[in-house]
Amino acid sequence: MHEVHIDPTSLERLARLLDPERAERLEGSAAIARRILDGRVVWNVSATASGGGVAEMLTTLLAYTRGAGVETRWLVLDGNPGFFRITKRLHNVLHGLPGDGGPLGDAERAEYESVLADNLQPLRSLVRAGDIVLLHDPQAAGLAAGLRALGAHVVWRCHIGRDTPTELTDLGWSFLEPYVDAAQATIFSREAYAPPWLDRRRARIIPPSLDPFSTKNVDLPPADVDAVLRHAGLVSRPAARGSLAFDRRDGTTGTVRAHRHLFAAGDQVPADARVVLQVSRWDRLKDMAGVMTAFAAGLPGLPSDAHLMLVGPEASGVSDDPEGAEVLAECVALWTKQPLDVRERVHLVVLPMDDVGENAHLVNALQRHASVVVQKSLVEGFGLTVTEAMWKNRPVVASAVGGIRDQIADGEDGLLLADPGDLGGFVHLIATVLDDDHLAQRLGEAAGRTVRDRYLGDRNLIQYVDLFSELLGE
């Protein structure tokens, strides 16, 4: 188990984006947090420090929490390949999909508990009675009972789920029930994600939020976008005078490197192309292969300058996802089977994970460069990449699944695909946006307003303080 260092970020920076009433509520909640948490530590335990939405959100929220004067720390689990295969299996079945089809029986339970017992040992010397511990997702759930025995207040935060239960989701919840039941409280992104056996009095609904000042979301001038994508070798742009510098969370400055091997398939995107972009992990639930198949089949009905970019992390850089390399390889194999005219307009990109700041900056530039951002997930807990694109005033086409339905009002601030399997309907929605500049602008501007109103960090922070007050009897 190792600790992730987080530098504080002043709440005043976030408050400047809020109207006076919201800013006042945020400061009042921060004052309550300082009082009730004085002398306590708020711990977070997750499976990885980079490469996914959970890590993104923790980086932001913990920085603001520390900036508010609350002692909070972040620990990352140590696990072996067997452990992460089991937790990935749980991830899949809780979404109602079989994944690798492997069992979740006594042997898997023994492996899961053994790894978490090893992780509990260092926690015994760190966590004190009265501290609050937030355990994130199935990977950390099995620590709850041991931490309760230390006198800690334990909350399990589930970032995944499915609206309608199936035999597969029942299998996953059956595995997790004894661990989740040991937590004092649980948090879900949507009420429908909570399993039927859970005492609803212990459940809270807290959707994720976005930090507009993070490296991934901070405003970038168009000249900087052009310069970054050209220098990184992603888009064949003419020489630009924009800056290649970016600010890291810790206050240091980085510079985008020249890259020559970011394409797993395809080549540089032409300068005059309009980009249809999906950014996500190489996860079957994100259906990158389905996006490619739909785009290829619908190419005759799309504008001649439309190109598809499927962008994900360098697979070995996401430690808790053993399927990432397999999914990427499947997408590359699918690309090779396409006719030449399709291959020339489809680009598979793997972004480096050795510098998370540069990774975030590249995603920021790509999302701002895109004409349409898509998220054709088969199921989705929330969909942080949807929020990110909406904040950047991009028109978004996404599946009407899970938390995406909470973010997008169809036809108002994005377009929703009712059935993720409807490939023809998906391409039709993309073409609708590309063929109507006025519609694209209207959807994008409304999307930015939606995120400002509902998905900035002040709401998230206030909800957590309310929960901690209840836990501590305040």
For 146-163, what is the mean pLDDT? 96
Domains with residue ranges and CATH for the chain: 2-209+456-471 (3.40.50.2000), 222-454 (3.40.50.2000)
Q: Residue 153: how many CB atoms within 10 A of its CB?
A: 21
**For the chain, counts of helices (H) and of strands (E):** 18, 18
3-state DSSP assignment of residue 277: strand
Question: What secondary structure, in 3-state letters, does 175-244 show?
Answer: HHHHHHCCCCEEEECCHHHCCCCCCHHHEEECCCCECCCCCCCCCCCHHHHHHHHHHCCCEECCCCCCCC
In the numeric block, the tokens 């639930």 are attached to 285
- Provide CB contacts within 8 A for 201, sequence distance 6+: none
For 96-100, what is the mean pLDDT? 90
pLDDT for residue 159 is more than 90 = yes
Name the H helices within 215-348.
222-231, 288-298, 324-336, 340-343
DSSP per residue, 46-109: ES-SSSSHHHHHHHHHHHHHHHTT--EEEEE----HHHHHHHHHHHHHHTT--TT----SHHHH
The C-alpha atoms of residue 207 and residue 464 are separated, in whole angstroms, by 11
278: exposed, middle or buried (C-beta count within 10 Å: 0-12, 13-18, 19+)?
Answer: buried
Give pLDDT, residue 318: 63
Strands 2-4 and 72-76: antiparallel
Give pLDDT, residue 172: 97
pLDDT 10s digits, 415-444: 999 999 999 999 999 999 999 999 999 999
pLDDT for residue 396 is more than 80 = yes
Nearest residue to 14 (alpha-carbon basis) of 48, 50, 71, 65: 65
pLDDT 10s digits, 36-55: 999 999 999 999 887 677 88
Distances, alpha carbon 387 to alpha carbons 187, 214, 217, 448, in Å: 20, 13, 10, 9
The C-alpha atoms of residue 474 and residue 460 are separated, in whole angstroms, by 19
Give pLDDT, residue 110: 98
* Dihedral-angle region of residue 234 (phi above 0 means left; psi in -120 to 50 means alpha; beta otherwise): alpha
Give pLDDT, residue 316: 74
CA dihedral 447, 449, 451, 453 (to 10 degrees): -150
Going by pLDDT thresholds of 50, 70 and 90, the confidence category of residue 243 is very high
Q: Distance between terminal CA atoms of the chain?
A: 32
Distances, alpha carbon 258 to alpha carbons 228, 232, 348, 362, 429, in Å: 9, 5, 18, 12, 35
For 379-393, what is the mean pLDDT? 94
- Provide CB contacts within 8 A for 363, sequence distance 6+: 216, 279, 311, 351, 388
* Dihedral-angle region of residue 99 (phi above 0 means left; psi in -120 to 50 means alpha; beta otherwise): left
Give pLDDT, residue 54: 86
Give pLDDT, residue 272: 95
pLDDT 10s digits, 286-313: 999 999 999 999 999 999 999 999 999 9
Distances, alpha carbon 240 to alpha carbons 227, 262, 368, in Å: 5, 20, 16
Give pLDDT, residue 333: 98
Amino acid in the structure at residue 441? Q
Percent of the chain with pLDDT over 90: 90
Please give the model's pTM, rounded to 2 decimal places.
Answer: 0.90
Going by pLDDT thresholds of 50, 70 and 90, the confidence category of residue 238 is confident
pLDDT 10s digits, 345-358: 999 999 999 998 99
Going by pLDDT thresholds of 50, 70 and 90, the confidence category of residue 248 is confident
pLDDT 10s digits, 199-215: 999 999 999 999 999 99
Distance of alpha carbon 471 from the chain centroid = 27
Mean pLDDT, rounded, of the chain: 95
For 227-235, what is the mean pLDDT? 96
- Kindly state the tokens that stand for 438: 């006025």
Amino acid in the structure at residue 302? L
pLDDT for residue 27 is more than 70 = yes
Give pLDDT, residue 52: 74
41: exposed, middle or buried (C-beta count within 10 Å: 0-12, 13-18, 19+)?
Answer: middle
Nearest residue to 462 (alpha-carbon basis) of 180, 137, 454: 454
pLDDT 10s digits, 443-460: 999 999 999 999 999 999
